[in-house]
Amino acid sequence: MAKNKGYSAKDIEILEGLQPVRKRPGMYIGNTNQEGLHHLVNEILDNSIDEVIAGHAKNIHFNYSQDNSITIQDDGRGIPVDFHPKYKNKRAFEIVLTTLHAGGKFIDNVYKTSGGLHGVGISVVNALSEKLEIKIYKNSKQYSQTYVRGKTKSKVRIEKCKKNLRGTEICFFPDNEIFESINFSPKKLYNFIKMKAVLVKGTKISFSIDKELISDKTPHHGDFLYPKGIIDFMQENFTSRKKIRN
């Protein structure tokens, strides 16, 4: 008869930073198949849509590139770039990207409504990406930083940029150590982003996919804008149908 294994303090594992996400990704995104892979897009896109809903952004740009990266950019306020009062050697956006449950969505006067995982989403995407690059445009300056599998891999770079540039740009490469496949479905992306624009009326999303990634009739670019939401969508579908003659 086998002896009972001991269970003591040394058996308690403490996972720091974003390690819990990489060890148990299903707890955060459901699974690591195609559904979980596409959920990463949802988390970043919802952050940009929240800026539109809050009245601080008007446009979102989405691109799926041949190098398997997804880039989402908005013209909102941009994640804060000042140093965080609790972590004085780190800027706020680095805290948001590398710490679970860090974000502005826990404070009612910052976001009245929000989608996604509420302060968890962007750090989860970072944890499950082979590489993630962020660019924040504020006050004629571009703040950028690179992360690898959730860990900071470069210092914050500050450069001049055009005065009219503002907002946040996220480019991420899903990690093939985590996902069964890191190839997104152009058709799924197209339909998913279109419905986001329908459900969140007034959100303009510019969409583009490298042609080489498309093997069916999915359009490789387009603009989605439904000022009246589902009403515009229904009218669009109604007018595109062939009329039945008597």
Q: Write out pLDDT tens, residues 59-72.
A: 999 999 999 999 99
Average pLDDT in the 23-51 region? 93
H or E segment to which residue 126 belongs: helix 121-127
User: Domain range holding 160?
Assistant: 31-184
Give the model confidence (pLDDT) of 90-130 as tens digits: 999 999 999 886 654 434 444 444 444 444 689 999 999 99
User: What is the number of structural domains in the chain?
Assistant: 1
In a domain, 180, yes or no: yes
The DSSP secondary structure of 206-245, one letter per residue, reads EEEE-GGG--SS--SEEEE--TTTHHHHHHHHHHHSPPPP
To which residue do tokens 């009972």 refer? 4
Angle, alpha carbons 193-198-199 (nearest 5°): 100
DSSP string, 33-61: SHHHHHHHHHHHHHHHHHHHHTTS--EEE
Q: How confident is the model at residue 215 (pLDDT cuts 50, 70, 90)?
A: very high
Residue 23 placed within a domain: no
156 DSSP 8-state letter: P
45-67 mean pLDDT: 94
Residue 208 resides in a domain: no
Domain holding 167: CATH number? 3.30.565.10
Closest CA to 198 of 161, 160, 234, 245: 234
Pairing of strands 204-209, 221-224: antiparallel
**126 residue type, one letter:** N
